[in-house]
Chain A
Amino acid sequence: MPDVRMAVRDVLVRRGEHVILTVPHLEVWAGEVLAVVGPNGAGKSTLIQVMALLERPAAGSVFFDGHRVEGDRLPYRRRMAMLFQEPLLLDTSVEKNVRSGLSLRGVPRSEQARRTAYWLERLGIAHLARRPARSLSGGEAQRVSLARALALEPEVLLLDEPFAGLDPSIRESFLSDLEGILHEGRLTTVFVTHDRAEALRLGDRVAVMMGGSIRQVGTTAKIFAAPVDEEVAAFVGVETVVRGRLQSLADGLATIDVGGAAVQAIVPALDPGAAVLVCLRPEDVILEPAGLESHPTSARNHLRGTVRRITTVGGQVRVALDCGFTLVALITKQSLEELSLGVGDEVAASFKATAVHVIPRGT
């Protein structure tokens, strides 16, 4: 049984007449990093502000260490710390900024000094201690904001898109420093982002939010391998999502008719004739020249298709094929050159039955 540090139950948030957030149930486990991912406008910031007790929901409660939060929220807020997308520093020196939370919480001065010095050093900004916060660069300022939050030694750390405002060049070093700190201290963290790569990297568990509600919660591996519906699949990067109908099922291996082609996949119990969505990540599709597929391999699916579009991003290439349905494969530039693929070419695509994720459709 996981040790639940924080929980949110039956929460509802309105803006005017519209309901912008509905969360029946979400738990944050002790020592974990829970990543809340979703597109912009999904309600992620609202959720984390409700958890930070900065926003009062129209309905529902927040639980801290099993106790429902009611009445004066200040004592609970003083057990947490939050970082926003912007550094939001005070107009004073870096050192005074890092101390500000500590002094608000009544920590003794000597302890304030000790923690401030430690975290400035730890985040590599000790040399900036005397500088006015106004004079810092974006990356430096966000480090100060992080030092300020960590100096509070919170029981729960909340991060609202902390990297979104940073230049890509400094995002990486900031991310890896934070990663180290979180895992070393086993600090319970809730971290909101629209970037699924960040969620994958930092998160132990992921909650996918869309349209004001949580669609799926689970380990990162589970979410990315088995998205619960089409929207989640699209968001986490499953690019081939097509409709099909189950033809037959034997020993857990199903044959699905997708646009005239037969796709084999592992599915739980489903009735023949059931309408399904077939999901496949582009990384799982292997391409080879047409006409060489005679020898058996462990991949159960071999399809012929015509190249419709080739898109290059960095060292990777997205190839969209027409196999009766649109199938997207991700290959390296080198492979593209070796296979000398061009639009209009015939090519063979293969993928394993275990790589296919099947979602039952309503109709």
Chain B
Amino acid sequence: MELLWDGLREGFRLLFTGNREVIEITIRSLLISGSAILIALTIGALAGYFLATQRFWGRNFVLSLVNTGMGLPPVVVGLFVAIMLWRSGPLGLLNLLYTPGAMVIAQATLATPIITGFTVASIQSLHPKLRLQIMALGASRWQTIWLLLREARLPLLAGVMAGFGAAISEVGASLMVGGNIKGETRVLTTATVLETGKGNFEMAIALSVVLLILIYAVNLVLTYVQQRERPA
């Protein structure tokens, strides 16, 4: 138990004294996961809208793939991205392996099915004639997509929160394609694994606390946006 209390005390001390390494790792985590979510949101919202509104042969099959994708194991994604970016692999000439770029790709791959799945459900929860009414008001194709996504913002933002949580919390894929290189590709999750392995519990605890606070803070902002203009 002493280990735990010592660790907690030291961890908070590291935080409050503004340890440089912790700050650097935190900012990198935010940038990588933030970029991943932006990419996942763009692809996922449009794909979800398309899946929800167009009838095509094989639609149910694709939908079941998306739903499966929501529970994709991060190590599997890591393996797949690593193979793609390997020097002798198909995208090897991009030289992205062991860079933050590779981590963004891996995290975006993880988050996209989640956001797509939530978008399909959220668009389908709208009144089936709403799209027709919006078109009748004179909306162009893009205006229609924007308005419907905005109407479905509640469940959609829930999807973004779930996607961001998945991206920033995962460690397997980030280790495999990032390499946990100090100053380059070390993020909160991968650094915690390293420090725990070395027995530096104070550092590991500090990093974990930051991760928890970060996830909470992002969700707080998104929840505020989601619930705006909605008196009970």
Known contacts being A86-B127, A90-B151, is A104 close to B139, with CB within 8 Å?
A: yes
Q: Report chain B residues within 8 Å CB of A313.
A: none
Q: Report chain A residues within 8 Å CB of B27.
A: none
A292, CB-defined interface residue at 8 Å:
no
Known contacts being A88-B129, A92-B229, is A54 close to B143, with CB within 8 Å?
A: no
| Interface mask (A236-257 → B, CB under 8 Å = 1, otherwise 0) | 0000000000000000000000
Give, as a whole number of angstroms, the nearest-CB distance from A89 to chain B. Answer: 9
| Interface mask (B215-232 → A, CB under 8 Å = 1, otherwise 0) | 000000000000001110
Contact of A104 with B143 in the complex, beta carbons under 8 Å: yes
Most chain A beta-carbon neighbours within 10 Å: one of B129, B151, B153, B230: B129
How many residues on B have C-beta within 8 angstroms of the other chain's C-beta atoms?
18
CB-CB nearest in chain B for A76: B138
A301, CB-defined interface residue at 8 Å:
no
Q: Whole-angstrom distance between the alpha carbons of A86 and B126 in the complex?
A: 13
Give, as a whole number of angstroms, the nearest-CB distance from B186 to chain A. Answer: 42
Q: Report chain A residues within 8 Å CB of B143.
A: 104
Contact of A148 with B137 in the complex, beta carbons under 8 Å: yes
Contact of B127 among A81, A88, A101, A148 (CB under 8 A): A88
Give, as a whole number of angstroms, the nearest-CB distance from B231 to chain A. Answer: 7
Contact of B132 among A54, A78, A80, A132 (CB under 8 A): A54
Q: Whole-angstrom distance between the alpha carbons of A77 and B137 in the complex?
A: 8
Q: Whole-angstrom distance between the alpha carbons of A90 and B130 in the complex?
A: 9
Contact of A104 with B138 in the complex, beta carbons under 8 Å: yes
Give, as a whole number of angstroms, the nearest-CB distance from B40 to chain A. Answer: 24
B133, CB-defined interface residue at 8 Å:
yes
CB-CB nearest in chain B for A77: B138
Q: Report chain A residues within 8 Å CB of B194.
A: none
Q: Report chain A residues within 8 Å CB of B133.
A: 82, 84, 88
Q: Whole-angstrom distance between the alpha carbons of A78 and B137 in the complex?
A: 7
Q: Whole-angstrom distance between the alpha carbons of A41 and B127 in the complex?
A: 20
B135, CB-defined interface residue at 8 Å:
yes
Contact of A82 with B147 in the complex, beta carbons under 8 Å: no
Q: Report chain B residues within 8 Å CB of A132.
A: 229-231
B212, CB-defined interface residue at 8 Å:
no
Q: Report chain B residues within 8 Å CB of A84.
A: 129, 132-133
Contact of B229 with A80 in the complex, beta carbons under 8 Å: no
B136, CB-defined interface residue at 8 Å:
yes
A278, CB-defined interface residue at 8 Å:
no
Give, as a whole number of angstroms, the nearest-CB distance from B226 to chain A. Answer: 12
A52, CB-defined interface residue at 8 Å:
yes
A1, CB-defined interface residue at 8 Å:
no
Q: Whole-angstrom distance between the alpha carbons of A74 and B132 in the complex?
A: 13
Contact of B151 with A86 in the complex, beta carbons under 8 Å: no
Contact of A104 with B229 in the complex, beta carbons under 8 Å: no
B19, CB-defined interface residue at 8 Å:
no
B95, CB-defined interface residue at 8 Å:
no
CB-CB nearest in chain B for A134: B230
| Interface mask (A84-99 → B, CB under 8 Å = 1, otherwise 0) | 1010101110000000
Most chain A beta-carbon neighbours within 10 Å: one of B127, B130, B138, B151: B138
Docked complex: B121-163 residues within 8 A CB-CB of A = 127, 129-130, 132-133, 135-140, 143, 147, 151, 153
Contact of A74 among B140, B147, B153, B231 (CB under 8 A): B140
A49, CB-defined interface residue at 8 Å:
yes
Q: Report chain B residues within 8 Å CB of A152.
A: 137-138
Q: Whole-angstrom distance between the alpha carbons of A82 and B137 in the complex?
A: 7
CB-CB nearest in chain A for B132: A54
Q: Whole-angstrom distance between the alpha carbons of A158 and B135 in the complex?
A: 13
Q: Report chain B residues within 8 Å CB of A92.
A: 229
CB-CB nearest in chain B for A135: B231
A219, CB-defined interface residue at 8 Å:
no
Q: Report chain A residues within 8 Å CB of B137.
A: 81, 100-101, 104-105, 148, 152
11 contacts between A and B (CB under 8 A): A54-B132, A54-B136, A74-B138, A77-B138, A88-B127, A91-B153, A92-B229, A101-B138, A104-B138, A105-B137, A132-B231
Q: A74-B138, A90-B151 are in contact. List 7 more A-B contacts (CB 8 A).
A: A52-B136, A82-B133, A91-B153, A92-B229, A100-B137, A105-B137, A158-B136
Q: Which residues of B contact A (CB under 8 A)?
A: 127, 129-130, 132-133, 135-140, 143, 147, 151, 153, 229-231
- Give me the 6 closest cross-chain CB pairs, A-B, nearest first: A82-B136, A101-B137, A88-B133, A78-B138, A105-B138, A104-B138
